[in-house]
Structure 1
Amino acid sequence: MNIAVAQSGGPTCAINASLVGVFKEALKTPEIDAVFGSINGIEGMIKDELMDLKLVIRTNEDMELLRQTPSTVLGSCRYKLPAVETDDEVYKKIHENLTKHRIEAFFYIGGNDSMDTVDKLSAYLKSVGSDIKVIGIPKTIDNDLPVTDHTPGFGSAAKYVAATVQEIIRDSSVYSIESVTIVEIMGRHAGWLTASTCVLRANDEIAPHLIYLPECNFSAEKFLEDVRSMQAKHKAVIVAVSEGVKLPQDSKRPVAVDNFGHEYLSGIGKSLEQLVKDHIGCKVRSIELNVMQRCSSHICSKTDIDEAELIGSEGVKRALAGETGKMMVYKRLSDVPYVITIESAEASAVANKEKFFPRRWINDAQNDILPEAEKYFLPLIQGEVKIAMKNGMPVHFKLK
C-alpha cells in the first residue's frame, strides 16, 4: 500500500514535525511502500501533483532538519471543498488520483478548515464504497480547535510571543518619560495566543499590564480608562491585544475574506495607538508581530516539536487500524507533572468550529488573565531544540 500526506492553512514552526512523524512511522511499517507528498494541500491531490517523499527525505539528518524547519515544506492552500450534493466532480478527481497511485490512506495536516476537508472527503469515499482512510493531523498557532487540549504549533508561537514581549518590556523601560506600547498579536476570534503572554509573570514580570482578547467586551472609553489607571502605577505601560479585538467604528469598514469566510485582520494596534495619541498624549507606539509569530523556529518549544511529530506518527497507526474521518487529539492527564495522551475524535466535531479562551481565566474587568491560566500554558513552552546553524544563521530544509 501507499500513503499520501498534505499540509494546509497557515504555516507554523511545528507542521513539518508532524510531516516527519507521518514519514517516520511509514518507514517503520513494512506494508507501506511509497509516501507521497501532495503539493499545496488538497489542490495537489486534485491536480495530481504528488512527490515521492523518499526521494527527497533521504537521511536521518534530512528528517531532523525538516523537523526543525518552519512553515509548510509541501506548500499550503485555503481550498474549500464544495458540498458533494451540489458538485461531486472534484471528489471524483481526488478519488481517481488516490486510486491511480494505490494510495490507501491520506493524512491532512491543518486546522479547523482542513478538518472540513477530512470530514467531507472521508464521507464521500465511504459513500462510493472506497476503503481509503482519511485522517486529520491538527495544527494552528491559534489553539482554537475543539476537542483537543492544545494544538501543534501553538506552544512555539506562545514561546516566541512571550520572549518578544519580554524584550519589548526591557526596551520600553530605559527612558524616564511616560510611554505606552501596544503589541498586536494574532487571534481572529480566539485570544489564546495573546492570553499566553501571562506566562511572563512566572518569571516575575509585571507586564503586560493589560491584556485584551476577542472574547472580552471592549470599548475605547474603557481602554483609555485602563491605560490611565496603569500609568498611575507604571512609567512604561505594555498592552497585549488580539488582532480580532474591534473598536465600534471598525465594524463599519468593508473587510476581505478567504475561501472559508474568515476576515483578513490587522490594524487594532494602530487604532489604539491613535486613541492614546489623541486622548492621553504621551509617547506611544504599536507593534504588530504579524507573520513572525507563526514561523519563528529559532526559539521553538521542544515540547511542541516533539508532540507534533508524535501526533503525526499516531495518525498513521490509527489509519492502519481502520479509522477514517478522524482528527488526532491531545488529552491532558495532568499539569504537574505534565502528561498527555493522544486519541482520535470525529473530524466533524472540529470542522469549521472554534474553541474560545475560557471566561473563567479572564479577570472581572476583562483586561487581564488570571494566574490559573499559567498552569495550562507553561508546560507547552518548555524545552529548547538544538537548531542547526550555518554562517551564524539557522539552516532550513528545502525541497530539491
Structure 2
Amino acid sequence: MKKSALQQARAAYKPQLPIVLTGGVKVVEGQPTQSADNQEDIQKLFPNTYGLPELRFEKAPAGESAEPINVGVILSGGQAPGGHNVISGLFDGIKNINRKSRLYGFLMGPGGLVDHKYKELTADIIDEYRNTGGFDIIGSGRTKLETKEQFDKGLEILRELNIKALVIIGGDDSNTNAAILAEYYKAIDAGVQVIGVPKTIDGDLKNNVIETSFGFDTATKVYSEVIGNIQRDCNSAKKYWHF
C-alpha cells in the first residue's frame, strides 16, 4: 500500500514513554491491593486473585538480560482509538526484553482464543498499524468467557504456543472476562498471567489508579474541539442560525 505524506508522518510519530519503559524493566512488588468497595463480596468471588500486590516498574540495569517471553493479545468489544498503539507498545516492550520474544494476536476477539484462530504479529505487521485508529489489526468481538470448557480450550492453544501472558484490551465486560479467566488459571496453577487493559469511549472505567482510559480520552478531546469550532463559527458568522 502506498502511503500519503500524512500517513508517513503519522507512522513516524513516537509516543512519549516513561523512562522506566524505554529499556529493560524490573518489577517490584508492593503492598496487597483491594477493591474500592464491596471488599468481602469481591474476595469471595475471586479468592485466588483478590489482594495480589501492587506492581511497580523500575528500569533494569544496563546489560541485564532476560528470557524471551511469548504473549497473546485480544481486542474485545467496540473499537476505540489507541488499541493499535497498545499492541505496538506490547510488541516493542517484549522485544526490548529479548529479541526472541513473540506476540500472537487472537482474531476477532475472545472467540479467537477459544477457536484457536490467531496470527503472529511481526514487525512488518505492527509497523503498518502504528498510530492508527480502529481495531482492524486483529479484529474484535464480544464473546463472553464464562464456561470451564471455554477456559480449557483457550489454555490448549496458550500451551501450544508457549504463551505465558494474555492481554485482553477492552471495556467493563471485557475486563470482567479477564478477571474470571485469571481466577480460573490461578486456581488450576496454569502458569499464565492474564492482564486487562481498560478501553472505553464511555468513561465507565475509572478508579483511584485509572484516571481515564484510552478511547474516552480521545472522544472527549474530539468532542471538545468540535464544540469549540462551532462556537467560534457562531461568533464569526452572525447572520446564520446554528442548531
TM range (shorter): 0.5 to 0.7
Matched with 1:18 is 86
Q: 1:167 to 1:55 in 2, by over 3 A?
A: closer
Matched with 2:145 is 81
Give the aligned residue type for 1:91. F
Matched with 1:70 is 133
2:215 to 150, 153, 173: 153
Q: CA RMSD in A?
A: 2.0
Cα shift readout 1:251-298 (whole Å, capped 9, x = no counterpart): xxxxxxxxxxxxxxxxxxxxxxxxxxxxxxxxxxxxxxxxxxxxxxxx
Q: Note if 1:168 corresponds to 2:230.
A: yes
Give the aligned residue type for 1:168. I
Q: So what's the TM-score if we normalise by structure 1?
A: 0.40
1:104 to 157, 164, 175: 164
State the distance in 1 between where 2:234 and 2:123 align.
Answer: 50
Following superposition of structure 1 onto structure 2, how do residues 181-192 of structure 1 map, counting pairs within 5 Å?
181=243
Q: C-alpha displacement at 1:2, in angstroms?
A: 1.4
Q: C-alpha displacement at 1:143, in angstroms?
A: 2.0
Matched with 2:72 is 4
State the distance in 1 between where 2:79 and 2:93 align.
Answer: 22
Give the aligned residue type for 1:80. K
What is the SS of the residue equivalent to 1:115? helix
State the distance in 2 between where 1:77 and 1:2 align.
Answer: 23
Q: Which runs of 5+ in 2 are unaligned?
A: 1-68
Matched with 2:47 is none
Q: So what's the TM-score if we normalise by structure 2?
A: 0.64
State the distance in 1 between where 2:181 and 2:232 align.
Answer: 50
Percent identity, please: 30
State the distance in 2 between where 1:42 and 1:138 align.
Answer: 15
Cα shift readout 1:78-128 (whole Å, capped 9, x = no counterpart): 12222xxxx311111111111111111101111111111110111111122
Q: C-alpha displacement at 1:175, in angstroms?
A: 4.8
Give the aligned residue type for 1:160. V
Q: Note if 1:128 corresponds to 2:188.
A: yes
Q: C-alpha displacement at 1:36, in angstroms?
A: 0.4
Contact 1:14 1:70 in 2 (8 A): yes
Contact 1:122 1:134 in 2 (8 A): yes
State the distance in 2 between where 1:32 and 1:42 align.
Answer: 26
Q: How many residues align?
A: 171
Q: C-alpha displacement at 1:172, in angstroms?
A: 4.4
Relative contact order higher in (CA < 8 Å, ≥ 6 apart): 1
State the distance in 1 between where 2:91 and 2:181 align.
Answer: 22
Give the aligned residue type for 1:70. G
Contact 1:3 1:32 in 2 (8 A): no
Stretch deviating more after TM superposition (31-40 or 122-131):
31-40
Q: C-alpha displacement at 1:14, in angstroms?
A: 1.1
Matched with 1:394 is none
1:51 to 92, 104, 119: 119
Give the aligned residue type for 2:186. K
What is the SS of the residue equivalent to 1:51? strand
- Could you list the runs of 4 or more consecutive aligned residues of structure 1 that deviate by over 6 angstroms after TM superposition? none
Q: C-alpha displacement at 1:31, in angstroms?
A: 7.9
Q: C-alpha displacement at 1:8, in angstroms?
A: 1.2
2:95 to 24, 27, 32: 27
Cα shift readout 1:344-392 (whole Å, capped 9, x = no counterpart): xxxxxxxxxxxxxxxxxxxxxxxxxxxxxxxxxxxxxxxxxxxxxxxxx
Q: Which runs of 5+ in 1 are unaligned?
A: 182-400
State the distance in 1 between where 2:91 and 2:103 align.
Answer: 7
Contact 1:14 1:67 in 2 (8 A): no
Q: 1:31 to 1:119 in 2, by over 3 A?
A: farther
Cα shift readout 1:106-162 (whole Å, capped 9, x = no counterpart): 011111111111101111111222111001111112222132111112222222111
What is the SS of the residue equivalent to 1:28? helix
Contact 2:76 2:171 in 1 (8 A): yes
State the distance in 2 between where 1:41 and 1:91 align.
Answer: 14
Q: C-alpha displacement at 1:54, in angstroms?
A: 1.4
